[in-house]
Amino acid sequence: MENRQNIITTINDKRYEIEGDKAFMPLGSFLRQEINLTGTKIVCAEGDCGACTILLARDVGSDGKLLFKTVNSCILPVYLIDGAHVLTVEGLKISETELHPVQQAMADCNGAQCGYCTPGFICAMAGMAEKLKSENKEITEKRTKNFLTGNLCRCTGYKPILEAAASLDLSRTEYLKDRFHNPTWLLEMKKIKSMPMNMDFTGKKIKHNIFLPVSLEQALFAKKADPELRLIGGSTDIGVVVNKGRLTTPKTMALYHIDQLKKISHDQEFIEVGATVTLSEFEDYIESFIPEINKMLHIFASPQIKNQATLVGNVVNGSPIADTIPFLMVSDSIVVLQSIKGKREVLMSKFYLGYKKLDIRPDEIVVAVKIPRLKKSEQLRLYKVSMRKDLDISAVTFAGIVEVENNKVLSARFCLGGVAATVIRLNEIESSVVGEDFTKEVFVNLGKTLSQYISPLSDLRASKLYRMKVAENFFVKFQAEVSSGVV
């Protein structure tokens, strides 16, 4: 099969072929510098403020139409929009004389002050309208705030922005997927995703290569041939580090054209999440199975980040303060790895060998995570402490699962994050509490034993003493919530 040498995409319904150094630019910079779409703003270059928000449709829904979702363009390299449709704030307008309802509402309600953050808010709100309309849900203030957690207004103009959202009438707001339904482009999208893209570019200081395989077999052979290939998921972490000049990605492979890795499914034992399933897709799917992880994902990050980041990416990044790892570890989830030799499964608690050191062989790719389904008798709680509620890095995280019968602990599993070089499983504490009464006193004493097992560091997010106290309190909170039935 012949490899393509360029990125093919559409931006505001205009087709582009992109090659060379431009394919490695952050999308926000490409929009502004190369094609003069300067409505998209770049401020933090970290995916934190939302000024760079655009809408991206990489796949189609069950109706065969594009699925537009908000993403941060400042940390998204152009090669990750191959075969996709991009909408910027300029593309939202209906005509030269008619604005999109969100744009009109923002104007009518005086939702812009300096105006710098306004295009990002408009795109985020348009994404909200698209999703809520498809789910037949009303716009409420709470939902609006949830959809806008990734957008900051430095003029403190939130009140008129919320009023603009409240004024929207979804019944009179046309779907973006209907406005931009283009059968010709959909056919080309399908063709693009069936042709691997392999492109080299020699820059001023470094030679780059990006490979976009269209089958798992192609990806596995590429990883075998060059173990130094860096795999890119959503680029929500690596994109930040690259922007800050702390990392280069000379040899890169992205897996998002491989349909096999986009799947999320379940049977009686496991929920299996493919390598390119995004956190927002996982959040929606898991709600009916394990509501507690769905609840935690609400404060994991902004919609823009969750629409791009992947669960497997969070696992492989291996941060000791990653928000999903405590849950995956305490639930005895399994990492599924594959090479050309076959598959291998590793228990999550055995996967982390040290700080950012994983049990992955040079020729292997993580293709999925298998999450055991909770038993009816198991109670799960997940906690996170950070400096702000939404879109913030954790200081300490906790995950606990317990089975209680006649006020006696039958089984227990506990994990803490942010207190060691990796997320850790507290095996000794688990063993010590089995058979004990499920009382506050017992769990207060468990917390007091933590100093035997953890020795957190002090850093800019929290001191060692603070982390120890928070970890102790999590055990007390866990017992109180489970015993009282708080969810």
Q: Which two tokens stand for residue 88?
A: 């910027």
- Cα separation of the two ends of the chain: 53
Would you state the pLDDT for residue 390?
82
Which of 395, 456, 400, 396 has the alpha carbon at shortest distance from 425?
400
Tell me the DSSP string of 38-92.
TTS--SSSSSSS-TTEEEEE-SB-TTSSB--EEEETTS-BGGGGTT-EEE-HHHH
The amino acid at 141 = E
Would you state the pLDDT for residue 412?
98
3-state secondary structure of 123: helix
Instruction: Report the alpha-carbon distance of residue 87 to residue 442 in Å, rounded.
Output: 55
Q: Spell 165-187 as b/e; 16+ CB within 10 A means b.
A: bebbebeebebbbebbebeebee
* Global confidence as pTM: 0.95
Domain 7-90+181-254, CATH: 3.10.20.30
Sign of CA dihedral 287, 136, 13, 11: negative
Angle at 484 between CA 483 and CA 487, to 5 degrees: 105
pLDDT in tens, the chain (487 residues): 567 899 999 999 999 999 988 999 999 999 999 999 999 999 999 999 999 999 999 999 999 999 999 999 999 999 999 999 999 999 999 999 999 999 999 999 999 989 999 999 999 999 999 999 999 999 999 999 999 999 999 888 899 999 999 999 999 999 999 999 999 999 999 999 999 999 988 777 778 899 999 999 999 999 999 999 999 999 998 888 888 888 788 899 999 999 999 999 999 999 999 999 999 999 999 999 999 999 999 988 999 999 999 999 999 999 999 999 999 999 999 999 999 999 999 999 999 999 999 999 999 999 999 999 999 999 999 999 998 888 888 999 999 999 999 999 999 999 999 999 999 999 999 999 999 999 999 999 999 999 999 999 999 889 999 999 999 999 999 999 999 987 6
What CATH class does 263-484 carry?
Answer: alpha beta
Instruction: Report the alpha-carbon distance of residue 471 to residue 226 in Å, rounded.
Output: 42
Would you state the pLDDT for residue 185?
95
Angle at 347 between CA 345 and CA 352, to 5 degrees: 110
Q: Which two tokens stand for residue 40?
A: 């998209």
Assign residue 55 a region: left if phi > 0, alpha if psi is -120 to 50, beta otherwise? beta
Over the Cα atoms of the chain, what is R_g?
Answer: 23
Tokens 């399933």, located at residue: 277
Q: Which two tokens stand for residue 277?
A: 């399933």
Q: Which two tokens stand for residue 133?
A: 């309309």
Comma-separated ranges of CATH 3.30.465.10 domains in the chain: 263-484
Would you state the pLDDT for residue 1?
53
Comma-separated ranges of CATH 1.10.150.120 domains in the chain: 95-173
Comma-separated ranges of CATH 3.10.20.30 domains in the chain: 7-90+181-254
Tell me the DSSP string of 273-341.
EETT-BHHHHHHHHTTT-HHHHHHHHTTS-HHHHTT-BHHHHHHH--TT-SSHHHHHHTT-EEEEEETT
Instruction: Report the alpha-carbon distance of residue 63 to residue 164 in Å, rounded.
Output: 30
Q: Do you know the residue count of the chain?
A: 487
Would you state the pLDDT for residue 32?
98
**Which CATH superfamily groups domain 95-173?**
[2Fe-2S]-binding domain (1.10.150.120)
Helix, strand, coil distribution of the chain in percent, nearest 5: 35, 25, 40
Which of 480, 303, 477 has the alpha carbon at shortest distance from 398?
477
Which of 110, 141, 114 has the alpha carbon at shortest distance from 128?
141
Which of 237, 371, 257 has the alpha carbon at shortest distance from 314?
237
**Residue 142: how many other CB atoms lie within 10 Å:** 8
- Residues 401, 330 contacting (CB under 8 angstroms): yes
Q: What are phi and psi of 12, to 5 degrees?
A: 55, 45
Instruction: Report the alpha-carbon distance of residue 483 to residue 318 in Å, rounded.
Output: 33
Instruction: Report the alpha-carbon distance of residue 456 to residue 470 in Å, rounded.
Output: 11
Would you state the pLDDT for residue 262?
97
